A and B are shown apart, each in its own frame.
Chain A
Amino acid sequence: MKRGLLAALSIARKDLKTELRTKESLNASASFALVILVLFSFAFDLDRESIYAISGGLLWLVYSFAGALIVNRSFARELPNDCLDVLIASPTPAWSLFLGKAIAAFFLLLIVEAISLPVFGLFYNISWTGVFWPLLLTISLATWGITVVGAAFSAVTVNVRLRELMLPVLLYPVLIPLLIGGMGMTTQLLSGNMAAADRNQYLRQLIAFDAIYTALAVYLIEFVLVV
């Protein structure tokens, strides 16, 4: 178990290092998130109450689309020079290979979210600093859900010719329960009218999603990678 976790960290560190050098998906994902946020701010002339009402939905749609660009590269990054074959042939268990990919994608998406959140606050005149810690918890839980499911589907579609198209088609239907939880929690946090019962329900929903899909992906990934 410990060896597997150490291998996962090595894979994650390698992915982060190569991505921070090339900025292939980071640039595309951050630019996309910023452009969508800015365009939406000009597209609708909403009153203050309506802006708060759609804030969570808008933020998580942007984050999930940006996330698809990040996770698309997770396993595709291993295709040049047949590096995926070398990883599979190594003693690294498939689950730790997958976990390393998910951890790297998680941090990359967090970077995109950290860049776009201040822009969101600025263009929509929404203050989020007062709920920073609960918002960080919500973002972390939902981001892990996006990246763990995304990395799993990235493995499924890695050898598919139209993987850029296939991944979102597979990903978004599965993410619906997670996005409902993330959107609901974020909207309530930003608008400041949240009952403790609602908060707990959304939190449970996010935690349950993360736990179920992480366990499923970790268990099934060997059957996906070695056929």
Chain B
Amino acid sequence: MLAVAVDRVWKYFGDYPALRGASLSVEPGACLALLGRNGAGKTTLLRILAGLSKPGQGEALILGAPSRDEGVRKRIGYLGHGIGVYDDLSAVENLRLFGRLMEMENPARAADSALERVGLANVKDGLAREFSRGMRQRLAIARAFLHDPDVLFLDEPFTSLDDRAIAVLQRILSEAQARGATIVMSTHQIREAMELASQVALLERGRIVHAGERTAEMLADPTWLYRTFGEAQ
């Protein structure tokens, strides 16, 4: 069974087609870098995969079921553009809340362990609004990975992270890959993405123009993909 299967998905915003029959498949345990210029449809596709939006036409299946399936959503982790934590709750209150919503058996223990992993255990009772930007980003990472999801959707995960948050994210992503989690991430940071990715897909104006294994050429020259398959070729 594929971890992610996107079959001819269209999505319109008014008359504008943000996705035009996009198709994609991701094997379990793979790490897919979803590349493309601004407006290519990366965020729209990720939102459909995370169950935040419905396709106009076509089908998006996660672990064999529609992304709005409750059982599937328990196994999904999502890190979008916003950090997705409440400013007026403490770090530990935020994570306990999301632990309960994720239907975890022991949200309190999971919250403490996640805060330990991202280096925020010593400030766990501090309100998120009092945290520095880097600490808030680490809290967001702890929230997204709290329930050890089987499939992760990350939208521009490295954008505007400080060096410590980048290190935390890279370590947690490596741990997720090691335990066999599937990762789909959109990014403009091609070099970082190529190092992590096992698969690459390029979106252009709502269409997947290339999808396949990450090759040695891509790793050696991150712009190779755009030059070979992109519109500018």
Contacts and interface: CB of A to CB of B under 8 A. Distances in A.
Interface of A: 3, 6-7, 10-11, 14, 17-18, 21-22, 80-83, 85-93, 222, 226-227
B102 A91 contact: yes
Interface in B179-221: none
A95 B73 CA distance: 15
Main secondary structure of the interface of B (DSSP, over half): loop
A22 B68 CA distance: 33
Contact of A81 (B50, B54, B68, B85): B85
The listed residue with most A CB atoms (<10 A of its CB), out of B74, B87, B143, is B87
Given A86-B98, A88-B52, A226-B54, A93 B86 contact: no
B33 to A, nearest CB: 21
Given A18-B86, A81-B83, A90 B98 contact: yes
Main secondary structure of the interface of A (DSSP, over half): helix
A85 B85 CA distance: 11
Nearest to A7: B101
Contacts of B57: none
A87 B101 contact: yes
B63 to A, nearest CB: 13
Given A7-B100, A10-B97, A226-B53, A85 B84 contact: yes
Contacts of B85: 81, 83
Interface string B34-55: 0000000000000100111110
A85 B52 CA distance: 7
Interface size bracket, B side: 20 to 34
Given A21-B88, A91-B74, A10 B52 contact: no
B101 A92 contact: yes
Given A3-B103, A91-B74, A14 B86 contact: yes
Interface of B: 47, 50-54, 68, 70-71, 73-74, 76, 78, 80-89, 93, 97-98, 100-103, 143
B87 A80 contact: yes
Nearest to A92: B101
Given A7-B101, A22-B88, A82-B84, A89 B76 contact: yes
Given A6-B100, A11-B101, 4 more contacts: A82-B81, A82-B82, A83-B84, A83-B86
The listed residue with most B CB atoms (<10 A of its CB), out of A6, A10, A14, A90, is A90
B10 to A, nearest CB: 14
Given A89-B76, A91-B70, A227-B53, A81 B84 contact: yes
A6 B102 CA distance: 12
A18 B89 contact: yes
Q: List 9 A-B pairs, minimum CB-CB distance, nearest first.
A: A82-B82, A86-B84, A91-B73, A18-B88, A89-B78, A81-B82, A91-B74, A90-B101, A10-B100
B73 A90 contact: yes
A80 B85 CA distance: 9
Contact of B89 (A14, A82, A89, A92): A14
A3 B74 CA distance: 13
24 contacts: A7-B100, A7-B101, A10-B97, A14-B97, A17-B88, A18-B86, A80-B82, A81-B85, A81-B87, A82-B82, A82-B84, A83-B82, A83-B84, A83-B85, A85-B78, A85-B80, A85-B82, A86-B84, A86-B143, A89-B52, A90-B73, A90-B102, A226-B52, A226-B53
